Amino acid sequence: MARFGVLLAALLVTAAYAEAPDYKQSLIARFPFYNLATGMFAPVYPALAQQLVQDYGLSDGVYVDVGGAEGSLAMELAKRTRATVYVVDLDPAAVRLCNLLADEAKLTGRVRAIEGDAQNLPLRDGFADLVVSRNSLFQWPDKIAGIKEAYRILKPGGVAYLGGGFSRLLSADDTARLVAWSEKKRANEGDLVKMPADLVDQLRHAGIERARVIEDPTEFDWWLELRK
Ligand SMILES: C[S@@+](CC[C@H](N)C(=O)[O-])C[C@H]1O[C@@H](n2cnc3c(N)ncnc32)[C@H](O)[C@@H]1O
């Protein structure tokens, strides 16, 4: 009888583990951007995380990646700091996948994904030391509302780095490869990564004084830095 119990327990554990990859695959099927992020874009996240750590002297605190998808950038930030990194994304599959990948990377609790809209973040005022957002802003129907939300959740002394593109620290080969890919995409789909006109002026009117646009080093790279 005891032997039967052990056998049954072993079968149940095996079944639970056998199910896990299917769940992960079902999330990837619902959020196929994962394949791009872990494929051709993979070198961007460590380079960008390293750049942010260097430029803003990051070591600990609370960081938020808005539209952070499956958490590739958040995990690279968590690996280089002692911070807790929140990922906010509109897509429920991306959020579930991010938390699963954080568990796999042994970053449970250090990378925390939650569902939410950039234009109405479910986080309190003055929550974050750093707010970052890469290649998501272009999908927000009201970009100014999303930028104001990023500013609202910043702590005094905090910094936001929002926009799109790659990283100054990405290798020349990877940059050339990704620029070529982006040019092809633009030829087929139009300019998806366009900066809103008079952005800094619009932000001044919205009460955000310390904003600057950083356009460097490729035309597919543009970023907005906010300081509070
Ligand atoms: C092109 S992916 C970029 C993902 C990631 N930031 C990166 O650099 O790989 C855009 C992400 O923004 C998310 N997104 C789009 N609109 C959003 C919104 N209004 N609020 C939050 N997330 C949004 C999408 O679900 C998607 O995960």
121 in a structural domain = yes
Give the distance (Å) from ligand 1 centre to CA of residue 65: 9
The residue written with tokens 């958490």 in the block is: 71
24 in a structural domain = no
pLDDT band (50, 70, 90) for residue 38: very high
How high is the pLDDT of residue 86? 99
Give yes or no for residue 13 having a pLDDT over 80: no
66 in a structural domain = yes
35 in a structural domain = no
Give yes or no for residue 178 having a pLDDT over 50: yes
Q: For helices 172-189 and 44-56, what crossing angle results, to 10°?
A: 110
Question: What pLDDT, in 10s, does the model give residues 81-132?
Answer: 999 999 999 999 999 999 999 999 999 999 999 999 999 999 999 999 999 9
Q: How many domains does the chain have?
A: 1
109 in a structural domain = yes
Q: Is 138 in the pocket of ligand 1 (CB under 6 A)?
A: no
Domain that holds residue 116: 41-227
Mean pLDDT of 134-155: 95
Give the distance (Å) from ligand 1 centre to CA of residue 137: 7
101 in a structural domain = yes
Kindly report the CATH number assigned to the domain that includes residue 124: 3.40.50.150
This prediction has a pTM of 0.91
How high is the pLDDT of residue 187? 79
Residue type, 108: T
Question: What pLDDT, in 10s, does the model give residues 40-49?
Answer: 999 999 999 9
118 CA closest ligand 1 atom index: 20
Give the distance (Å) from ligand 1 centre to CA of residue 41: 14
21 in a structural domain = no
16 in a structural domain = no
Question: What pLDDT, in 10s, does the model give residues 190-223?
Answer: 666 666 678 899 999 999 999 999 876 677 788 9
Q: Is 118 in the pocket of ligand 1 (CB under 6 A)?
A: yes
Question: What pLDDT, in 10s, does the model give residues 149-170?
Answer: 999 999 999 999 999 999 999 9
